[in-house]
Structures are given as C-alpha cells and as structure tokens.
C-alpha cells in the first residue's frame, strides 16, 4: 500500500486534467476557482477570476492581507469538517473551500466563489474600497461584473466539486497503489524466474553428471567382462599347469632317486596351479560383486535420472507459467500508466 501521508496532490491527480475540469466548471457555473496544495500553494492557474478580486482587491497590500486571511480561515474550517465550507469574504463576496481528501486525510483544496447571493450594499462597498485605498467608483464598476447566484446553487456547485475532486483523488490513489503493487509483484516474479533458471541449470547439470556417470559405469562393466574373460583364460592355464605338474610328478617317480629334484619342482608347479586357480576364483567372485554393485548403481542412477528429468520438465513448465505472469504484470504496468494519463 501507498503511504498517503508522504504524498502530495500532484501525485494523485493529473494536473492537466484538473486544470481543464476546473476551467470548464468555473465557466459553466459562473464561479471562480483555483486548486492549492496543503501549504496553500497554487497547483493550477486561476479559472474565471474576477477583476474585482484580482486586479483591485488583491492588488492592494491590505486587500491581499485580508484575502489571504479569508483563504486560510475557509481552508482550515473545510479541513476540520471534511466537507465544503461556504463563507462571506471580507469584501462581501461569497467564497467556498472544497477539501480534497484521501483516506480521511486532506491533501489539498479547491478554493472558489467570488460571487454574490443578492444585490450588494453599495455604501458598504464604498467603505471597503476606501479602507483598501481603491477608487469607490472603479470598485463599484468592477462589482457589476460579479455574478449573482442563489445560495443553493453555490452549495450544489461546491458539493459537485467535492465529489468529483475526491473521486479523482481516490482513483489516482488506487492507480498508484496498483502500480506499486504490480511493480513489487514484477520484482518478485523476476527473482523467482532467476531462482527457477538456477534450479533448471542445476537439474540439467545433475542430468549431465548422471549421464557421464552412466558412461563411466558402462566402461567399468566392459572392463569387468574383459577381466572375467582373462580369468577364464587363467583358469585354463592353471588347469594345464596342474596337469603338467601331475605328469612331472609321475615322471619323477619313475626316475627314482635321480628325479627327486624334479619331483620338488613338479610339486611347486602343482601348488602354483592351485594357487592360481584360487586367486582366479577370488578375483572372479570380487568381479561379480563389482558387477552386481555396478548394476544396482546403474538401476538407481536410471531411476534418479528419470526423476531429475521429470523435475527438469516440471521446472521448465513452471518457469514458462511464471514468464507468462511476468508478461501479464508488465502489461498491467503499462495499462496503469496509460490509465493515469486519462485521469
């Protein structure tokens, strides 16, 4: 939400639109008007201001002093009551102050009037002119240009200004709130997109690593099969060696005393053959265990890879949805900007 305590009227209302509305309203109704901020500084040009006020009364030092005092008093009372306040100024004209409110707080005002509700008391006006140092005849001549409106019409005019100005103010506030909310949402979505991209990249990296691991496991599997082949070959050699040792033992027995040394060699050959066979069996068992573990790893890796691929696909789908939302928020931002130019 927007903190309205830190905002001014120019942020809520398009001043060009306000000026056009103020000019048309003042001319149509026959009243003078001007819009001011909370410090009393004009934010629009005067609309339909009278010569009686602008070129005579406010041109004098005393008249300007009295006019400012009336403006301050009217604006203060309208702010306190939170609705239009109609009053008679020091020069005998009827003025009004219309507060521009936002969420229960005043952010500006429309001051206007400079009309009469009945024929003026000429003697009273001559007296005021003398107090201000103005030629009474010139003063009365300018007074003839001042329109005479019924009090009810003035009240209705002030009330209409109040409704329109405050509706525009609230619309501007809602637009600004919506704009800020959408911008915050856009930032959040942008951050989510970055995070999702990082997750997708991470999932893709894991997939690549898993594929690389599968390739390495495939190599291990191939090497294990080659080891198994060589082991079978070693077993054949062991069997032949054992047979050779057995034959050597037989021949040494036939040779008698002369073949004793050869008998020892034959025995060692048989032992070597037996140890080779045992070693080959152990290596074979070890290789089978490796193969079993590798197969389990491959199976788990494939399941993990399948899950990762599904996760990656889901991330991509979510990312696409978020991107669509991001485009929508950008369109909404542009819409609020376009909308603001028409308020």
Closest CA to 161 of 96, 207, 208: 96
Q: Output the DSSP codes for 220-233.
A: HHHHHHHHHHHHHH
The pLDDT, as a whole number, for residue 231 is: 62
The pLDDT, as a whole number, for residue 147 is: 92
- Distance of alpha carbon 124 from alpha carbon 130, whole angstroms: 10
CB 329 within 8 A of CB 188: no
- Distance of alpha carbon 86 from alpha carbon 78, whole angstroms: 9
Give 107-140 pLDDT, tens digit per residue: 888 999 999 999 999 999 999 999 999 999 999 9
Tokens of 56: 């005579």
The pLDDT, as a whole number, for residue 176 is: 74
The pLDDT, as a whole number, for residue 1 is: 47
Packing angle, helices 61-81 and 122-132, rounded to 10: 110
Domains and their CATH numbers in the chain: 4-149 (3.30.450), 184-340 (1.10.287.950)
Q: What is the pLDDT along the chain (343 residues), one digit of tens a residue?
A: 445 455 667 777 888 888 999 999 999 999 999 998 887 788 999 999 999 999 999 999 999 999 989 888 888 899 888 899 999 999 999 999 999 888 778 888 899 999 999 999 999 999 999 999 999 999 999 999 999 999 999 999 999 999 988 888 887 777 777 777 777 777 777 777 777 677 777 666 666 766 766 776 677 667 667 666 666 766 666 676 666 666 666 766 666 655 555 555 556 656 665 666 666 676 667 667 766 766 666 666 666 666 666 666 766 677 676 666 666 666 666 655 554 444 4
Residues 6+ apart with CB under 8 A from 146: 50, 52, 93, 114, 115, 116, 120
Is the alpha carbon torsion for 314, 316, 322, 325 positive or negative? negative
Q: Let me know how long the chain is.
A: 343
CB 155 within 8 A of CB 5: no
Tokens of 277: 């066979």
Residues 6+ apart with CB under 8 A from 175: 336, 339, 340, 343
pTM of the model: 0.57
């Amino acid at each position: 939400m927007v903190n309205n305590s830190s905002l001014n009227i120019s942020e809520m209302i398009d001043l060009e639109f306000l000026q056009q509305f103020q000019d048309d309203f003042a001319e149509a109704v026959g009243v003078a008007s001007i819009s001011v901020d909370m410090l009393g500084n004009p934010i629009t040009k005067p609309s339909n201001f009278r010569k009686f006020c602008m070129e005579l009364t406010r041109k004098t030092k005393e008249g300007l002093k009295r006019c400012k005092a009336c403006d301050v008093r009217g604006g203060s009372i309208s702010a306190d009551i939170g609705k239009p306040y109609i009053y008679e100024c020091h020069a005998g004209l009827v003025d009004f102050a219309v507060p521009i409110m936002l969420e229960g707080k005043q952010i500006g005002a429309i001051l206007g009037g400079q009309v009469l509700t009945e024929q003026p008391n000429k003697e009273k006006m001559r007296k005021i002119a003398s107090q201000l140092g103005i030629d009474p005849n010139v003063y009365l001549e300018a007074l003839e240009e001042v329109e005479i409106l019924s009090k009810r019409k003035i009240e209705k005019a002030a009330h209409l200004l109040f409704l329109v100005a405050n509706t525009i103010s609230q619309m501007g506030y809602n637009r600004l709130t919506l704009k800020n909310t959408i911008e915050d949402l856009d930032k959040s979505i942008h951050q989510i997109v970055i995070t999702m991209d990082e997750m997708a990249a991470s999932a893709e990296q894991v997939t690549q690593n898993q594929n690389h691991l599968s390739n390495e496991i495939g190599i291990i599997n191939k090497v294990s099969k080659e080891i198994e082949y060589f082991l079978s070959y070693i077993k054949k050699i062991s069997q032949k060696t054992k047979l050779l040792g057995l034959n050597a033992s037989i021949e040494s027995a036939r040779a008698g005393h002369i073949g004793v040394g050869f008998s020892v060699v034959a025995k060692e050959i048989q032992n070597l053959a037996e140890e080779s066979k045992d070693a080959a069996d152990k290596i074979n068992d070890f290789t089978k265990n490796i193969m079993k573990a590798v197969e389990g790893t491959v199976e788990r890796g494939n399941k993990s890879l399948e899950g990762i691929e599904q996760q990656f696909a889901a991330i991509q789908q979510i990312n696409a949805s978020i991107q669509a939302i991001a485009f929508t928020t950008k369109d909404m931002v542009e819409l609020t900007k376009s909308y603001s130019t028409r308020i």
